[in-house]
Chain A
Amino acid sequence: MDPLEIKATKETPQINFDGANGVFSISGKSYPENVSNFYKPVFDYIELYRLSPKPRTTIEFRWLYYNTSTAKNIIKIIMLLKDLSKDFEIKWYCKMDFDLIIEKGKEIREVLGVNLNIIYT
């Protein structure tokens, strides 16, 4: 499976999806006005990965900030990936003092009951 790379812009994050190794990474800012358009290739890629998932799937987030429309897409990405592999982990990287992003990570963990590890950088 070829990797998916989308370069960051001022309003959209860097996407690095490596389906061959089961590692999915999203980092930066996300507040595109038309969020569905931006995340469409992301979901298309996940649909392909779902056909032959790896035994271990990891998704890494490194957020500066994002809007509520993006929050909805983060939930959808996690919901699509979480039951594919026996071993599933969310790595939620953030700076120690980025309270808002830390809270958002904890909230996702509680709301979805998923294995989300907050990793301070």
Chain B
Amino acid sequence: MYGLYKEFKDEKLSLVYLGVFSNDITPTLIELSDVYISKIERLSKLRRKATYLIAESFQNIMKHGILEKQNISAIRHAKDFFQITILDDRIVISSANVLENQFISEIDVNIDYINSLDSDNLKALYHQKLNDGILSDKGGAGLGLIEMVRKSGLPLNKRFLPMSDGFSLLILSIEIPTSEDLKEHKVDIDLIGARYKKLVEADILMLYKGDFSSSSNNNIINMLSSNLATEGEIRSDQVKNIVAVIEVMQNVSKHGRKINEYKDGIFALSTINSELYIRCGNFINRDEYESLRATLKSIKSCSIEEIKTMYRNRLSNSYLTDEDNSGLGLLEIARFTGNSFEYSFEETPGGEIFYTINLKTI
């Protein structure tokens, strides 16, 4: 997990989402980014733009995503992709979706044309399209792409990656800089493509890298709950997964090491053979390392019956202490996983300790 963390380490916040897209999670995507954006003065002025562009880009994926084409074998393993990245001086929104090769040239020309226009011409084109009122059969009129360029102030970055049997992946990236003086793209779109491939191969459904404060955690948990619900109802078979995620994330929030004001860490959900895998990694304080390691070692040496007994004993006495942390979290994870969870500690070159937990509920 530390290897994955290192790939994201220069990004203040990254949220990657692959798979099933629904409108329910748009507000959560916005809230989650907003928690970070609103804290940083130079970024906070981008809040309105970021909100608009996150919603617009996400809508774009929903309209043009692959869900309706799932039966096509060539792209059965492809996934739609959405990523929000916050860097020091800009917010980057990236997306990827599969399309048939026959549409490439038209889209390519359209985007190049939009990118070539100055702000006055973009405005004129926007009003012209609006007045024409010609909507495509997907419900858009190309207005979204025009608005993305108008609002961000930088051209849309695009790349077509060939897939197989007549399909390609369209990667789009829009950068919202903190200053109009920033005229160059900072993110290499080929690296977004490489990241997409890597995360799809790892069966990642969702990845978050950033601060594990309570407000961020709750937004992720809400997003996950929406994702694991059917028609707004939590599915009974997903309750353990949701509670396991809550325990893992709140553990980081309470015990994670603050570096530069943030409890930085990484959290990923993967689905392999329809089973959900939960992974989380974060820095911990050196003085808590030995006790955490001893606790984990002790739990792992117990049988599942012993763990159940320990949980019950601790639960019945828990009301006697006033501490929030009842010490039950790790025991709950052990119970949920049949004590099959895994953990590791890694010392970084900078002398920090990175703790990873990896689990699947049963």
Give A contacts to B, CB under 8 Å.
10-11, 31, 33-36, 64-69, 71-73, 75-76, 79, 95, 97-101, 107-108, 110-112
Contacts of B325 in A (CB 8 A): 69
Task: Assess the A99–B326 pair: CB atoms within 8 A.
Answer: no
Task: Assess the A34–B239 pair: CB atoms within 8 A.
Answer: no
Task: Assess the B253–A68 pair: CB atoms within 8 A.
Answer: no
Task: Assess the B214–A100 pair: CB atoms within 8 A.
Answer: no
Contacts of B214 in A (CB 8 A): 33-34
Task: Assess the B326–A10 pair: CB atoms within 8 A.
Answer: no
Give B contacts to A, CB under 8 Å.
214, 217-218, 221-222, 234, 236, 239-240, 242-243, 246-247, 250, 253, 312, 315-316, 318-319, 322, 324-326, 328-329, 331-332
Min CB–CB distance B356 → chain A (angstroms): 21
* Known contacts A68-B332, A72-B319, A75-B319; A99 and B247 CB within 8 A of each other: no
Contacts of A98 in B (CB 8 A): 236, 239
A100 to B361, CA, bound (A): 12
* Known contacts A35-B324, A100-B240; A67 and B316 CB within 8 A of each other: no
Instruction: Return the chain B residue nearest A98 by Cβ.
Output: B236
Task: Assess the B324–A64 pair: CB atoms within 8 A.
Answer: no
A72 interface neighbour in B240, B242, B326, Cβ under 8 Å: B326
A69 to B247, CA, bound (A): 9
B interface SS class: helix
Task: Assess the B246–A31 pair: CB atoms within 8 A.
Answer: yes
* Known contacts A10-B222, A64-B239, A100-B243; A111 and B324 CB within 8 A of each other: no
* Known contacts A67-B250, A71-B326, A72-B318; A33 and B243 CB within 8 A of each other: no
In the A-B complex, the 3 residue pairs with the closest CB atoms: A33-B214, A68-B328, A76-B319
A-B contact pairs, 20 of them (CB 8 A): A10-B222, A11-B218, A31-B250, A33-B217, A33-B250, A34-B214, A34-B324, A35-B324, A65-B234, A68-B329, A68-B332, A69-B324, A69-B328, A71-B326, A72-B319, A73-B319, A75-B315, A75-B318, A111-B312, A112-B316
A/B pair count, beta carbons within 8 Å:
78
Task: Assess the A111–B239 pair: CB atoms within 8 A.
Answer: no
Task: Assess the A95–B315 pair: CB atoms within 8 A.
Answer: no
Task: Assess the A95–B236 pair: CB atoms within 8 A.
Answer: yes
Contacts of B217 in A (CB 8 A): 33
Min CB–CB distance B253 → chain A (angstroms): 6
Task: Assess the A64–B326 pair: CB atoms within 8 A.
Answer: no
A66 to B319, CA, bound (A): 16
Contacts of B326 in A (CB 8 A): 68-69, 71-72
Contacts of A35 in B (CB 8 A): 324
Task: Assess the B243–A65 pair: CB atoms within 8 A.
Answer: yes
A98 to B217, CA, bound (A): 24
Contacts of B332 in A (CB 8 A): 68
* Known contacts A10-B222, A72-B328, A100-B243; A33 and B253 CB within 8 A of each other: yes
A73 to B217, CA, bound (A): 21
Task: Assess the A36–B322 pair: CB atoms within 8 A.
Answer: yes
A11 to B221, CA, bound (A): 9
Min CB–CB distance A65 → chain B (angstroms): 5
Instruction: Return the chain B residue nearest A10 by Cβ.
Output: B222
A33 to B255, CA, bound (A): 12
Task: Assess the B239–A100 pair: CB atoms within 8 A.
Answer: yes
Contacts of A10 in B (CB 8 A): 218, 222
Instruction: Return the chain B residue nearest A107 by Cβ.
Output: B312
Contacts of A108 in B (CB 8 A): 315
A97 to B247, CA, bound (A): 22
Contacts of B312 in A (CB 8 A): 107, 110-111
Task: Assess the A31–B236 pair: CB atoms within 8 A.
Answer: no
Task: Assess the B315–A99 pair: CB atoms within 8 A.
Answer: no
Task: Assess the B319–A97 pair: CB atoms within 8 A.
Answer: no
Extra contacts besides A31-B250, A72-B315 (19): CB < 8 Å: A10-B218, A10-B222, A33-B214, A33-B253, A34-B324, A36-B324, A65-B234, A65-B239, A65-B243, A68-B331, A71-B328, A75-B315, A75-B316, A75-B318, A97-B236, A98-B239, A100-B243, A111-B312, A112-B316
Instruction: Return the chain B residue nearest A94 by Cβ.
Output: B236
Contacts of B316 in A (CB 8 A): 75, 111-112
A66 to B332, CA, bound (A): 12
- Of A65, A72, A100, A110, most B-chain CB atoms within 10 Å: A72
